[in-house]
């Protein structure tokens, strides 16, 4: 196992154990303490999300347009836009996140077979496997492989101690009729 991957696995295990311990402590303490712990955990996650998932607002970051002619019938993985943000935690205190996956193709194309880089994605909240599912390590499938129509949005929520970075790895263009 690569040292970097091993470090990530160990870190994930430590975070999971700490969150489980905090949850047990919060369950055994008064509601006020549970609220404080949950609020502090949510604030820390929001700080992390703000710095990692606000790519359009970061200074020094420049968006690169795909090299193609506008209006052609081709699509590209850059036509799929992913937004992710925190939502209300589960009653147990586990943070939840909402993910929106949008088809922003300028040429009016529908896009199918949307695969995302997703690491060891998992969720404490059940996700409809026809909407989003992990096939293998770092390979998640969106919309059961079916086309996401132009301008369409598909969304889901997941619960985990930390947000997973999600990015498009591959897509297939649906020919225009």
Domain membership of residue 65 (yes or no) is: no
Q: Is the pTM of this model over 0.85?
A: no
Count of domains forming the chain? 1
Mean pLDDT computed over every residue of the chain: 76
Is residue 62 included in any domain, yes or no? no
Phi and psi at 173, nearest 5°, equal -85, 135
On whether residue 113 sits in a domain, the answer given is yes
Under the banding of pLDDT at 50, 70 and 90, the label for residue 19 is low
User: Which of 99, 97, 130, 134 is CA-nearest to residue 115?
Assistant: 134
Average pLDDT over residues 149-169: 95
Residue 84 lies in a domain: yes
* Nearest alpha-carbon partner for 164 in 1, 3, 15: 15
Question: If pLDDT is split at 50, 70 and 90, which confidence band does 21 have?
Answer: low
Worst-scoring range by mean pLDDT, 31-40, 110-119, 131-140?
31-40
Residue 81 within any structural domain of the chain = yes
Give the least confident one: 21-30, 101-110, 130-139: 21-30
**Given this model, what pLDDT does residue 107 score?**
83
Residue 43: in which H helix or E strand, if any? helix 31-52
Measured CA to CA, the distance from residue 146 to residue 27 in angstroms comes to: 42
Structural domain including 136 reads 3-57+70-174
Q: Determine, yes or no, domain membership for 109.
A: yes
Question: 123 with 97: CB under 8 angstroms?
Answer: no
pLDDT, mean of residues 15-33: 50
pLDDT band at 59 (very low <50, low <70, confident <90, very high): very low
Question: Is pLDDT at 82 greater than 60 in this prediction?
Answer: yes
18 occurs within a structural domain: yes
Q: What is the dihedral of CA 10, 11, 16, 19, to 10 degrees?
A: 140
Residue 119 belongs to a domain: yes
Range list of β-strands (E), 8-142: 80-87, 96-103, 110-117, 132-136, 139-142
pLDDT at 151 exceeding the cut of 70: yes
């Amino acid at each position: 196992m690569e040292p970097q991957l091993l470090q990530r696995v160990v870190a994930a295990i430590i975070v999971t154990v700490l969150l489980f311990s905090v949850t047990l402590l919060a369950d055994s303490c008064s509601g006020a303490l549970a609220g404080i712990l949950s609020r502090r955990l949510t604030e820390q996650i929001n700080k992390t999300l703000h710095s990692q998932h606000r790519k359009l607002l970061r200074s020094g970051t420049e968006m690169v347009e795909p090299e193609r002619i506008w209006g052609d019938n081709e699509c590209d993985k850059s036509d799929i836009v992913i937004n992710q943000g925190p939502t209300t935690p589960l009653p147990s205190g586990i943070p939840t996140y909402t993910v929106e996956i949008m088809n922003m193709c300028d040429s009016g194309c529908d896009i199918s077979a949307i695969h995302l880089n997703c690491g060891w994605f998992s969720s404490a909240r059940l996700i409809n496997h026809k909407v989003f599912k992990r096939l293998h390590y770092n390979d998640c499938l969106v919309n059961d492989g079916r086309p996401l129509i132009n301008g369409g949005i598909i969304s889901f929520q997941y619960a985990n101690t930390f947000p997973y970075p999600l990015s498009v790895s591959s897509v297939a263009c649906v020919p225009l009729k």
